[in-house]
Amino acid sequence: MASLNPQQRQLVEQWAAEGATLNQIQDRLRTECSITLTYMETRLLIMELGVKIQDKPREAPPTPPEEQPQPSPAADVEVEDDFADMAEPADAAPGGTGGLKVTVDEVPPPGALVSGKATFSDGNTIQWFMDQMGRFGLRGPTPGYQPPPADIPAFQRELDTLLSVRGF
Residue 159 reports pLDDT greater than 60: yes
Please answer whether residues 103 and 79 qualify as being in contact, where contact means their C-beta atoms are separated by less than 8 angstroms: yes
State yes or no: pLDDT of 167 exceeds 80: no
pLDDT exceeds 60 at position 16: yes
**Same domain flag for 13 and 92:** no
Q: Containing domain of residue 30, as a range?
A: 6-49
Give mean pLDDT, residues 55-61.
Answer: 64
Residue 122 clears pLDDT 70, i.e. is over it: yes
What proportions of the chain, in percent to the nearest 5, are helix, strand and coil? Answer: 30, 15, 55
Q: Are residues 39 and 85 in the same domain?
A: no
Question: Would 68 be classed as within a structural domain?
Answer: no
Average pLDDT, the chain: 77
Residue 23 in any domain: the answer is yes
| More reliable by pLDDT, 36 or 163 | 36
Q: Is residue 73 in some structural domain?
A: no
DSSP state of 84: G
Q: pTM of the full predicted structure?
A: 0.41
